[in-house]
Chains A and B, each alone.
Chain A
Amino acid sequence: MIEQILRSIEQIPAFPTTIFKVSGMLNDEDYSVDALTEVIKFDQAIAANVIKMSNSAYLSPSRSIGTIREAVLYLGQRNLLKCVQTAGVSRFFQTTGQRQMATAHELWEHSVAVALMSQILARKILKREDERLYLAALLHDVGKIVMGEYIYESFEMIMDLVTRRGYSFLEAEEEIIGINHAELGGMIAAHWHYPQEMEMALTYHHRPDLAGDDTTTVWLIHLADQICLLAGITGGMDGLAHRGVDEVMKKFSFYEKDLEVGMLELVEHLQRARDLVGIVAG
C-alpha cells in the first residue's frame, strides 16, 4: 500500500506559485500595487477567494472590498498575504470523497483553526506574527488528504488499535499502513520543493522533540494543534487520540492557564473567521 500512496503524491497538483510570488513582492517595501494586482488576478481561483475573504469580519471589518486592487490597497501587507495563502491552500481541501477518514471540510476547518492559533501563539511568544508559520500551519495535515484516499479499508483496524489498545492515531497509522500522515505531509512538501523548514514542520508536527535544533515553527504548530484538539476542532475521526509532548510548555514558559486563555482567544477568532473556513465549497 505504501508504494501506492507514494505514487499518488505525484498526482497532487502543483503548489500555487502565486503564493510565493505575492510573498516575495510584499517583502519589498516599495511593491507596486498594479504589479501585485496583476499577479493575483492571474490566478482566478485565488482571486475569487481573496475578494470573498477580504470582506470577512476577520480581515477588514470597516469597508466593503469589490476588486483585487481594492484588496491590495486596503487589506495591508500582512492580511493580504494571509488571504492569498489561505485562498491558495484551500484548493487542496476540495476533494470530497466518501473514502476518507474525515470530510475535507472538517479537515479544512481544523487547518484554519491551527493556522489562526499559530498566530495567536506567535504574537504571545515571538511578539510578532509569522507568515511562514501561518502557511505551514494551514498545511500541517495535508498528508491526511492523500492518506484519506487509502485509509478506508484499514480504518477499522486503525480505530481498533486506538480504542482498544491505547495506540495514538499516529502509531496506529504506522503499524497498519507503514507510514503516518505527518511523514506523508513532509513528502508532499518535498514534492512541492518547499523550503526544508516547511518540510520539517509537516513531518514532525506530532513529534517536535525529534525535529532537531532551531525548530520553533514545529513546536508552535504542535502546540497550536494540541489546543485545537482540546477545543474539539479535531478535523477527523482520530479525535483527541494524539500525544502531547510536554516539553513544549517548558520551551515557551507556558502554563496551564496560558492554554486556557489561548482556547478562549481561539474561539473568539474563529467566530470572526467563519468566512475563511467557508471558502471551500463541499
Chain B
Amino acid sequence: MSEMVVGIADLKVSNKPDDILTTYALGSCIAVAVYDPMVNVGGLLHYMLPDSLLDIGKARANPGMFADTGIQLLFKSCYSLGAEKRRIIVKVAGGASILDNTNYFRIGEKNIMALRKIFWRNKVFIDGEDTGKNCNRTVRLHILDGKVTVKCSDGMTKEL
C-alpha cells in the first residue's frame, strides 16, 4: 500500500492498485473522488472554492483551487489513463460550515451548490455523498477497488 497525499487545491490520479489517494483537513473545501471500475483508474480532487472567476490567473496556474476548473481537470486526467465517463463512479465529501447565525461564511454551502450544478449540467450522477455538517474530514480512495472512506474529526469513519 502506498499513500499519495492530495494537498489542498490539488488533485491526483492513479491506476496502480496499491495506491491509496488521501486528502486531509477538508473544512468547507470538497473532495471529489472518481473511479472507473473497469480499468481501475481513480482520481481525487480537493478544491477550495466554487468559481474560478474569482481569480482566473490563479485558476490557470492551479486548477485544483476551484470546483469548475478542478472537476474538469480531474475527469480529463482520468480519461487520459483510460477511464470513460459512462462508467465513472463519483463520490463527494466535505463542504462543512461553521455554526454561524448569519448569511456569511457560507463557503461550504456554495461549494456544494457549485458541484451539483456542474454535475447536473454534465449529466453525471453522484453515487455517494457526505457533505455539510460542522466536522473536519479526511477522505481516502483505494485504487484497488474504488472504496472511498470518510473519517470525521468527531471520530466517526464511514464508507461511501
Proximity string of chain B (134-150) to chain A, C-beta cutoff 8 Å, 1 when within and 0 when not: 11100000000000000
A261 at the interface (CB under 8 A from B): yes
- Report the Cα distance A163→B152, complex, angstroms: 11
B126 at the interface (CB under 8 A from A): no
B104 touches A244 (CB 8 A): yes
Proximity string of chain A (242-261) to chain B, C-beta cutoff 8 Å, 1 when within and 0 when not: 11101001000000110111
Interface residues on A, range: 20 to 34
Residues of chain A lying within 8 A (CB to CB) of residue B69: none
Q: Given A240-B98, A259-B107, answer yes or no on A267-B134 (Cβ-Cβ < 8 Å).
A: no
Least CB separation from A249: chain B residue: B104
B25 touches A233 (CB 8 A): yes
A256 touches B154 (CB 8 A): no
Residues of chain B lying within 8 A (CB to CB) of residue A75: none
Q: Given A162-B154, A260-B49, answer yes or no on A242-B26 (Cβ-Cβ < 8 Å).
A: no
A231 touches B65 (CB 8 A): no
Q: Given A240-B134, A249-B104, answer yes or no on A231-B48 (Cβ-Cβ < 8 Å).
A: yes
B97 touches A240 (CB 8 A): yes
Least CB separation from A238: chain B residue: B153
Residues of chain B lying within 8 A (CB to CB) of residue A263: 48-49, 107
B9 touches A229 (CB 8 A): no
- Report the Cα distance A229→B28, complex, angstroms: 8
A118 at the interface (CB under 8 A from B): no
A236 at the interface (CB under 8 A from B): yes
B42 at the interface (CB under 8 A from A): no
A97 at the interface (CB under 8 A from B): no
- Report the Cα distance A261→B104, complex, angstroms: 14
- Report the Cα distance A233→B136, complex, angstroms: 9
B49 touches A256 (CB 8 A): no
Interface residues on B, range: 20 to 34
Residue in B98, B152, B154 whose beta carbon sits within 8 Å of that of A244 in the complex:
B98
Residues of chain A lying within 8 A (CB to CB) of residue B155: 159, 237
Q: Given A163-B154, A232-B25, A232-B27, answer yes or no on A241-B134 (Cβ-Cβ < 8 Å).
A: yes
Residues of chain A lying within 8 A (CB to CB) of residue B25: 231-234
Residues of chain A lying within 8 A (CB to CB) of residue B153: 234, 236-239
- Report the Cα distance A241→B99, complex, angstroms: 6
Q: Given A159-B154, A234-B153, answer yes or no on A259-B105 (Cβ-Cβ < 8 Å).
A: yes
Q: Which 7 A-B pairs have the closest CB atoms?
A: A232-B27, A246-B102, A232-B25, A239-B153, A244-B100, A239-B136, A239-B135
**Which residues of A pack against B, CB within 8 Å?**
159, 162-163, 166, 168, 226, 229-234, 236-244, 246, 249, 256-257, 259-261, 263-264, 267
In addition to A244-B105, A256-B106, 10 A-B residue pairs with Cβ atoms within 8 Å of each other are A226-B105, A240-B28, A240-B99, A241-B134, A241-B135, A243-B99, A259-B104, A261-B54, A264-B54, A264-B55
Subset of 22 A-B contacts with CB under 8 Å = A159-B154, A166-B99, A230-B28, A230-B108, A231-B27, A232-B24, A232-B26, A234-B153, A239-B27, A239-B154, A240-B28, A240-B135, A241-B99, A243-B101, A244-B104, A246-B100, A261-B55, A263-B48, A263-B107, A264-B55, A264-B58, A267-B48
